[in-house]
Structure 1
Amino acid sequence: MKITKVETFAVPPRWLLCRIETDEGIVGWGEPVVEGRAATVRTAVGELAELLIGKDPSRVEDHWQLMTKGSFYRGGPVLSSAVAGLDQALWDIAGKSLGVPVHVLLGGAVRDRVRAYSWVGGDDPAGITDAVHAQVEAGFTAVKMNACGPMNRLATVRDIDDVTARAAAAREALGPDRDFAVDFHGRFHAANARKVLPHLAPFNPLFAEEPLLPDYPHLLEGLTAASPVPIATGERLYSRTDVLPALQAGVAVLQPDLSHAGGISEVRRIASLAETFDTLIAPHCPLGPVSLAASLQVAFTTPNFLIQEQSIGIHYNDGAEVLDYVVDTEVFRFHQGHLALPTAPGLGIEVDEAAVRAADGRTPDWHNPVWRHEDGSFAEW
């Protein structure tokens, strides 16, 4: 079997999908994207495709090594995300060619179902209670929200009150048997995070995500040691070498993204590395159907897995949904906040190719907002 074609599709709301075709008619799908840089990643996928055309798709690891190390300049979000999508598609072909789900090729499932959480916003605190109640009624046992909107360099009393009010509202709506996580989104400086985190502790969040920008790994150990709330990070870390300082700093939860961190091949290794630090894995995935399907294949085979992010019904899905691009939506049906073990070959989903082709280029490239402080200086989004 040989690879004959690699295609990419930019589809709403902000996703990029790739398709690898073989001469035996087996097709694999992946999701290589950096949110806000889809066009750039699309170019990178085209460049990497030159390494794959005419090659045997079953040599997944050899392809991964060549795509990641065959160039003098390596790594970073664009190249790692391009590799990630192609790697997902190669695993999809491998499973389909053998008639088994990818999780079988990874050693088999270690659990029967995967717990997932749903987003409830948080940039604007209005409606948090209603949003949480809606997810509880839908059967979810966990939600995640942003800690704040734009944040001052050092929190004022009002800032702290606003952050804790969100947490208090979520905890009251959830009760003692469900969880919420708080995403700081890299909007806090180190001193600010240290100042605010103790105020969240009485509400027992599952974790506080990205309280520091990934630019400051040398400050992470001090924060994790001082924080009464478990610290999570990892969506902007793209390899084992990237995540190692976070693990050494003692983070409780690592959040590699299957569409950013080198795909199934590398995230599988990241999870194993995290296990040696007694760190849990909660894959980052505010993305589309292929990324979620790939995440589940890893989640079901990872002993130190905690919970899965997913974007079905997320606030930014305007004009398109995860379920719009799959033929059989049953694989993504939630049962009491959990997803069942996929049984179909490959990534476990059938992509609706007609829908993907029809959606390609339908909307302009998405770019994240740019925020500014009251004095006009740049603020983290």
Structure 2
Amino acid sequence: MKIVDAQVVVTSPGRNFVTLRITTDEGLTGLGDATLNGRELAVSSYLVDHVVPLLIGRDPHRIEDTWQYLYRGAYWRRGPVTMAAIAAVDVALWDIKAKAAGLPLYQLLGGASRDRVRAYGHASGRDIPELFDSIRARQAEGYQAIRVQTGVPGLTNVYGVRHGAAPAEGADRHPRPVVEDWDTAAYLRHIPGVLEAVRNEFGPELPLLHDAHHRLTPIQAARLGAALEPYDLFWLEDCTPAENQEGLRLVRQHTRTPLAIGEVFNTVFDYQTLVNEQLIDYVRSAVTHFGGVTPLRKLFDYAAQYQIRSAVHGPEDISPVGMAAAIHLDLAIHNFGIQEYSGHTAATDEVFRHAYTFTDGHLHPGEEPGIGVELDDALAAAHPYEAAYLPVNRLADGTVHDW
């Protein structure tokens, strides 16, 4: 079997997605997600101009060799654009291999380690009553674990907090990034009371998660983790920019709140200190941004040696192709923790028809051969790309801040 064609499709059914379709001489096709929120066209160009020409004529079954060829064979390694492009190839090849075998992908990864995949949803509100309403809405949808985010008194816009009908997270369709404001001291004063109110209202059994969005220094993150201990969080996510891996030592010394890190990481090298020293409890990278199923499975096996669990990043800007690949991996690995799942718009689900299902707070990839996703080209063409950016965060004095 040989690869005879590879096409890149950019579509925007509510938000922008980049999809790679690989076709073989036996008529099998595979899909891979290459979406990089706010930088979609950079990955599209990387694929079209630099990767696709290298795929033609290759054996699609040689997945590991192709991964190494694209990663090691290019002098410039790592980075989100490169790894998203490699991820698209990797997932598309796994899709083809599983279709050739007539099996769902998870069967090629060792079979199911569980019957279903627990997911968590997002709840947010500008104040506590709105947050309570949002939590109840997620529970009505079936979620049994919920991430809670809230507005902060004195701040106009806080990322991750819904404003009316606007999305809580994601890229805004504006020619320039929207500017949001931030005050760390106000946040640290406010958020413990919010989690206390949520815990009092919804009881001790509901798993609660919270995301600090990289905004804190290590000592600030340590203070927050300690302050939240009475509310028994499932985890505190991205408490500090973890490129400074050593900074997590300080956080770990001062709190027993579980920590989740890694949605902006692209390779295992970003995790080495965090895993080796057991400074975190969950690894958060996405199939789409970590180079695909091949390296993410290796990361999970590495983390398992230190009793660290998976928690694949799964926002709306991971397309159903990337989500499906994640769910297959979740079902197969032993050290699964939880899967983020925001769902997609109806238009997205029409463009990307998928076999995976969400029922009673859990996901299942389905039993279709491959990853179980098909791309409708006609519908995709009806939703052309629109420029969109993630916001920028600034302090009161105008300083750009981590968000």
TM-score norm. by structure 1 comes to: 0.91
Report how far residue 9 of structure 1 moved: 2.0
Which shows bigger deviation, 297-306 or 140-149? 140-149
Question: What are the within-5 Å matches in structure 2 for residues 218-257 of structure 1?
Answer: 218-250=246-278, 251-257=280-286
The equivalent of 2:353 in structure 1 is 327
Q: Identity across aligned pairs (percent)?
A: 30
1:209-238 Cα shifts (integer Å, max 9, x gaps): 111113211111221232221011011211
TM superposition shift of 1:341: 4.6
Distance in 1 (alpha carbons) for counterparts of 2:200 and 2:91: 40
SS at match of 2:359: coil
What's the C-alpha RMSD, in Å, of the aligned pairs?
2.0
Matches of 1:16 and 1:145 in 2, distance apart?
29
Aligned residue in 1 for 2:298:
269
Does structure 1 conserve the Cα–Cα contact (< 8 Å) formed by 2:35 and 2:319?
Answer: no
Classify the secondary structure of the residue corresponding to 1:117: strand
State the SS of the aligned residue for 1:259: helix
Indicate yes or no: 2:20 matched with 1:18.
Answer: yes
1:335-350 → structure 2 map (5 Å cutoff):
335-350=359-374
Instruction: Please name the residue that 1:288 is paired with.
Output: 319
2:115 is equivalent to residue 112 of structure 1 = yes
Of stretches 190-199 and 275-284 in structure 1, the one that deviates more from structure 2 is 190-199
Q: Which residue of 1 aligns with 2:164?
A: none
Show CA shifts across 1:2-44 (max 9, x none): 2122222222213211111222221111101221111111111
Q: C-alpha separation between the residues in 2 aligned to 1:363 and 1:168?
A: 42
Q: Residue in 1 aligned with 2:155?
A: none
Distance in 2 between residues matched to 1:309 and 1:44, nearest whole Å: 28
Distance 1:94 1:31, change over 3 A: same
Q: CA deviation at 1:258?
A: 0.4
Question: Structure 1 residue 375 and structure 2 residue 397: aligned?
Answer: yes
TM-aligned CA deviation for residue 76 of structure 1: 1.1
CA distance in 2, matches of 1:171, 1:368: 31
For 1:121, give the aligned amino acid: S
The residue number in structure 2 matching 1:121 is 124
Which residue identity lines up with residue 344 of structure 1 in the other structure?
A: E
Of 259, 279, 284, the match for 2:308: 279
Contact 1:312 1:322 in 2 (8 A): no
Q: Structure 2 CA distance, aligned partners of 1:325 and 1:127?
A: 32
State the aligned residue count. Answer: 369
Q: Does 1:312 align with 2:314?
A: no
What is the CA–CA distance in structure 2 between the aligned matches of 1:37 and 1:228, rounded to whole Å? 36
User: Is 1:73 paired with 2:76?
Assistant: yes
1:42 to 41, 44, 53: 44
| Mapped partners of 1:193, 1:145: distance in 2 | 17
Partner of 1:301: 332
Shift of 1:264: 0.3
Instruction: Determine the C-alpha separation between the residues in 2 that align with 1:31 and 1:326.
Output: 11
Distance 1:192 1:378 in 2: 18
Match of 2:5 in 1: 5
Describe the superposition over 1:90-122 as per-residue Cα deviations: whole angstroms up to 9, x where unpaired.
Answer: 100111111111111111111110001111236
Match of 2:163 in 1: none
Q: 1:371 to 1:75 in 2, by over 3 A?
A: same
Q: Structure 2: which 5+ runs fail to align?
A: 152-157, 159-180
Report 1:20-169 matches (<5 A): 20-46=22-48, 47-121=50-124, 127-146=130-149, 149=158, 150-152=181-183, 155-156=184-185, 158-169=186-197
8 Å Cα contact 1:252-1:279 kept in structure 2: yes
Which residue does the alignment assign to 1:356? 380
In 2, Cα distance between the equivalents of 1:101 and 1:194? 43
Structure 2 CA distance for partners of 1:99 and 1:252, relative to 1, 3 Å = same
Partners of 2:37 and 2:129 lie apart in 1 by 26
Residue pair 2:222, 2:252 contacting (<8 A) in 1 also: no
Query: Is the Cα contact below 8 Å between 1:128 and 1:166 reproduced in 2?
Result: no
CA contact (8 A) 2:357 2:365 kept: no
List 4+ stretches of structure 1 deviating above 4 A.
122-126
Q: Which amino acid aligns with 2:300?
A: A
